[in-house]
Amino acid sequence: MHLDIYGDTLTALVTAATLSSTGHQVTLRVPAGQVADDLDAGRMPYQEPGLEAMLDQQQQAGRLLAGSADEMPGDRVEAVFLALSPAALPFAESVIDQLALRREHSWLVVNQSNFPVGTTESLQQRLRDGADAGVDRAVIVMPEMLQEGAALQSFMRPSSILVGCDSDWAEVHIREILRPFNRLRDVMRLLRPREAEFTKLAINGMLATRLGFMNDMASLADALQVDIEQVRMGMGADPRIGEAYLYPGCGFGGLNFSRNVMSLADTLESSGVGSELLEQVLLINERQKEVLFRKLWQHYRTDLHGKTVTLWGAAFKPGTGRIDNAPALKLLDALWAQGVTVRVHDPKALPTLRAHYGERADLLLCDDPYEAARGADALMLVTEWKDYWSPDYPRLRSLMAQPLLLDGRNILDPDFVRSSGFVYYGIGRQ
């Protein structure tokens, strides 16, 4: 089949690579932005094992083409995938509106984006408006369930495929498109579109709640002088709980956990429905993003004026240069409000930070992590990049004005850090 994929997410790239590898003719249309720039410059925007090779292979085979996101699919295209970032809903709507204008054309649109619950149905309504009688049109939703680090495998050998679809015609087509990945046994679960979207929200919500709960436990652990690491391992050993998503830290960021994704679409929201628990989880997370600031504030007895603080890491997670909802943003605002100069190192996010804040005297972006620590009254480890797991403590000690280390990701050993001459604060660590 001829398939067009709009998107700049990891899902877009994985979908393009895997579907073309099974013989589909795929056009990948990446909207302007960082990801498009990376691809144009021959850089891989996502560090995903095997992805780059597979994309190259398919391009060479002529089954995968790069197209412009400003252009519409050709007449032979039978399905359009939307694998966009949550913020790109207006773009998705404009694509749908342009497809809708072609009155005689049948369209299957597969929404893989993390939009609020209810979006797929409203997109379908838009797509069907004004279509000629007898023309089949549907928007279905296939929430992304990729495991980062094993994304290709999880797409091609899924333990389940969640599809939200209310049209028999669309079901026939999506089954055909995904047939190569659904052979051993039928793992496709069909739900109504909003049920599928809601499942994705519930998964994200559960993960966020686990993290929020652990952060809450870490605060208690601080107060009770209990080491949260021991507690975390004890909890994780219980099979009813499991080990995933139990790491306390200085807050999670990223678009999937943003307020608009964690909410229902406006149409539903006006009915007054909302999740109190998720509201609280997101609130607690916002508070948690300032936890390192609070520890610093108390350490220096409420006077931070004129101090210098180093941030290691600004991206919302390792492996990306993105800073959407990242804890570093809240820390920067909090520190600047107290008259602190901040020196930041991040392997990938410095250009994004520079673009976000522009030039300012109290922000220094450093390409070298040790250069960033020079003269600092505190070092805050904010993103757990591999680069930071084994610091050269004597070197840090000699560069910094005060040996104070705040570990927002609990990746260092408190005893070893202390024996290296530092004051150490973790998240619930002793």
Partner 1 sequence: MRSRTGVPADTVWQQLTEHAASLQDIHLAQMFADQPDRFARLSRRAGPLLLDLSKQRLDGRTLDLLGKLADSRDLRGWINRLFAGEPINHTEQRAAMHWALRVPAPQPSPVQQQVQEQLDRMSRLVERIHARQWRGVTGEVITDVVNIGVGGSDLGPMMVCRALEDASDERAVRTHFVSSMDGSQVSGLLRRLRPHSTLFIISSKSFTTIDTLYNAGTARAWLQRTLGDDPAVTGCHFIGVSSATDKMDQWGIPRPNQLALWDWVGGRFSLWSAIGLPIALRLGMQGFRDLLAGAHQMDEHFRSAPWRDNVPVLMALTGVWNTNILGIHAHAVLPYDGRLKYLPAFLSQLEMESNGKSVTRDGEPVATGTCPVLWGEVGPNAQHAFYQLLHQGTEPVTCDFIAPARRYHEGRHDAAAAELLAQHELALANCFAQSRLLAFGEAALPPGDQLPMHMRYHGNQPSSTLLLDELGPFALGALLAAYEHKVFAQAVIWQINPFDQWGVEMGKRIATETLELIKRGTAGGDMDSSTNGLIDAVAGAVDRRRSFRG
**CB nearer to partner 1: pick between 168 and 333:** 333
Task: Find the binding residues for partner 1 in span 299-328 (CB under 8 A).
Answer: 301-302
Task: Kindly state the smallest distance separating residue 296's Cβ from partner 1, in Å.
Answer: 8
Output 124 or 341, the one with its CB closest to partner 1: 341
DSSP code at position 9 = S
Closest to partner 1 by CB, 60 vs 225, is 225
Minimum distance of partner 1 from residue 289's CB (angstroms): 11
Nearest Cα to 256, choosing from 195, 317, 189? Answer: 317
| Nearest of 415, 366, 305 to residue 407 by alpha carbon | 415
Dmax (CA) for the chain in angstroms is 77
Indicate the residue among 290 and 384 with the shorter CB distance to partner 1: 290
207 burial via Cβ count (<10 Å: 0-12, 13-18, 19+): middle
User: CB under 8 A: which stretch of 131-139, 193-201, 203-211, 330-338 binds partner 1?
Assistant: 330-338
Q: Which is nearer to partner 1, 181 or 357 (CB)?
A: 357
Hey, what are 254's tokens? 């990223």
Q: Is the dihedral of CA 342, 345, 348, 351 positive or negative?
A: positive
d(CA 249, CA 238): 21
* Residue (of 136, 127, 1) closest to 74 by Cα position: 1
**223 or 361: CB nearest partner 1:** 223
Q: How many CB atoms lie within 10 A of CB 395?
A: 11
Q: How far is the CB of 326 from partner 1 (least distance, A)?
A: 17
Segment holding 420, helix H or strand E: none
Site string for partner 1, 334-373 (x = CB under 8 A): x--xx-----------------------------------
H or E element in which residue 180 lies: none
From CA 247, how far away is CA 297, in angstroms rounded? 24
Closest contact distance (angstroms) between CB of 76 and partner 1 is 47
Ranges of beta strands (E only) in 50-112 are: 64-68, 79-83, 107-111
- Contacts with partner 1, 103-142, as mask; x by CB under 8 A: ----------------------------------------
Task: List the interface residues with partner 1, window 265-304 (CB under 8 A).
Answer: 287, 290, 293-298, 301-302
Residue 159 vs 302, nearer CB to partner 1: 302
Q: How far is the CB of 338 from partner 1 (least distance, A)?
A: 8
CB within 8 Å of 284: residues ≥ 6 apart: 212, 215, 216
Nearer to partner 1, 6 or 293 (CB): 293
The SS3 assignment for 87 reads helix
Smallest gap, in angstroms, from Cβ of residue 334 to partner 1?
Answer: 7
Q: Which two tokens stand for residue 207?
A: 């993960």
Minimum separation from the CB atom of position 297 to partner 1 (A): 4
**213 lines the binding site for partner 1 (CB under 8 A):** no
**Closest distance to partner 1 from the beta carbon of 249 (Å):** 17
Residue whose tokens read 């795929």: 26
* CA gap 376, 390 in Å, rounded: 19
Shortest Cβ 265–partner 1 spacing (Å): 18
Residue closer to partner 1 (CB basis): 60 or 270 = 270
Count of residues that bind partner 1 according to CB under 8 A: 14
Please state, in angstroms and rounded to a whole number, the distance separating the CA atoms of residues 222 and 56: 50
Q: Is 169 within 8 Å of 136 (Cβ atoms)?
A: yes
Task: Kindly write out the interface string for residues 144-183 of this chain, putting x where it contacts partner 1 by CB under 8 A and - elsewhere.
Answer: ----------------------------------------
* Rounded distance between C-alpha atoms, residue 41 and residue 18, angstroms: 22
CB of 336 to partner 1, least distance (A): 9
Do residues 120 and 111 touch, judged by C-beta distance below 8 A? yes
Select the span of 35-43, 97-105, 333-341, 391-399 touching partner 1 (CB under 8 A).
333-341
Residues at the site binding partner 1, with contacts judged by CB under 8 A: 287, 290, 293-298, 301-302, 333-334, 337-338
